[in-house]
């Protein structure tokens, strides 16, 4: 089931399945901003990545000496969430651990996802509540995809604008395993805070940026300089991903609290770089905002 929220600027739909954003429409122009889930390119639109972001080494995750099978980006995006609060401008969802989730992730948890409209922004809040009797380790990420406004537009019609960066260092990704190569980093230099957008940018698959280097990034029209859609990290996010498929008429701007495993990582999940930890009874929180220009 899809539920809606709206204000004078935006109309937004969210699905109970995965608590996934399904639609963002500008009311003044009627422009559809969010990717439409065309399976010819990418069938998701803005999935929640939990309890793992990206791939784990050999599709396994070790927790307290026991190995668990994983799937890319975790299981939350496939689960039915319960909507616990619904108003004109706000939706709040809940996912609780159960017998099925414990087959892949042994902790008792509650995952809360909240969407709240604030003029031309969508405030996205994550809360991970640990109801286990031990420290719970996890990663969580956002994956919103933004479609190009006009049919026939290509990546070359847009550029990426980083208001706070003049350069950053990216981490290479193994194209076969989907894991990071921390010993292979490369510098990305920006021109006037701007990175040219093209299919070639994604020859490395995902542009992965660690060490909380990115706080805000926009998709911007190249011809006019108009800010189209973007993401701002309200809290600190240790990693950020930028991704699209070849010829895909969209770009994903992904704030991550943690990311894929590094190549060859076989230690307990608690030892993973960038891991988040919630003590028993603790509720861990993070927020970011989707920005509409």
Report domain extents, the chain: 2-292
Q: Are 145 and 34 in contact (CB under 8 A)?
A: yes
Confidence of residue 248 (pLDDT cuts 50, 70, 90): very high
CATH entry 2.70.98.10 includes domain 2-292:
yes
Q: Is the pLDDT of residue 157 over 90?
A: yes
Instruction: Give the tens place of pLDDT for each residue, 3-42.
Output: 999 999 999 999 999 999 999 999 999 999 999 999 999 9
With vertex at residue 236, the alpha carbon angle to CA 18 and CA 45, rounded to the nearest 5 degrees, is 25
Contact 286, 235 (CB under 8 A): yes
Predicted TM-score (pTM) of this structure: 0.96
Counted residue by residue, the chain has a size of 293
End-to-end CA distance of the chain: 28
Contact 252, 245 (CB under 8 A): no
Dist. CA 90–CA 112, nearest whole Å: 13
* Dist. CA 158–CA 32, nearest whole Å: 16
Enclosing H/E stretch for 40: none
Tokens of 270: 């608690």
| Per-residue pLDDT at 230 | 99
Q: What is the pLDDT of residues 131-141, one digit of tens each?
A: 999 999 999 99
pLDDT the model gives residue 203: 86
């Amino acid at each position: 089931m899809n539920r809606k929220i709206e204000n004078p600027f935006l109309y937004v739909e969210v699905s109970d399945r995965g608590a996934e954003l399904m639609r963002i429409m500008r009311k003044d122009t009627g422009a559809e901003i969010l990717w439409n889930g065309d399976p010819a390119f990418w069938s998701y639109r803005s999935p929640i990545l939990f309890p793992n972001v990206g791939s784990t080494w050999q599709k396994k995750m070790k927790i307290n000496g026991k190995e668990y099978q994983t799937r890319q980006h975790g299981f939350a995006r496939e689960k039915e969430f319960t909507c616990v609060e619904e108003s004109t401008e706000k939706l709040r969802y809940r996912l609780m651990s159960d017998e099925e989730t414990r087959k892949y992730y042994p902790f008792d948890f509650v995952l809360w996802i909240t969407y709240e409209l604030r003029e031309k922004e969508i405030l996205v809040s994550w809360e991970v509540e640990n109801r286990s009797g031990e420290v719970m380790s996890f990663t969580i990420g956002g994956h919103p995809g933004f479609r190009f406004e006009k049919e026939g537009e290509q990546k070359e019609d847009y550029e990426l604008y980083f208001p706070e960066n003049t350069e950053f260092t990216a981490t290479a990704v193994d194209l076969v395993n989907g894991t990071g190569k921390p010993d292979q980093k490369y510098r990305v230099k920006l021109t006037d805070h701007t990175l040219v957008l093209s299919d070639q940018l994604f020859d490395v698959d995902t542009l992965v940026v660690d060490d909380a280097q990115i706080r805000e990034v926009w998709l911007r029209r190249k011809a006019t300089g108009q800010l189209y859609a973007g993401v701002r990290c309200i809290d600190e996010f240790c990693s950020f991903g930028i991704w699209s498929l070849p010829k895909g008429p969209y770009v994903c701007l992904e704030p991550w609290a943690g990311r894929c495993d590094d190549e060859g990582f076989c230690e307990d999940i608690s030892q993973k770089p960038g891991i988040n930890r919630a003590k028993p009874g603790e509720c861990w929180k993070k927020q970011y905002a989707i920005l509409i220009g």
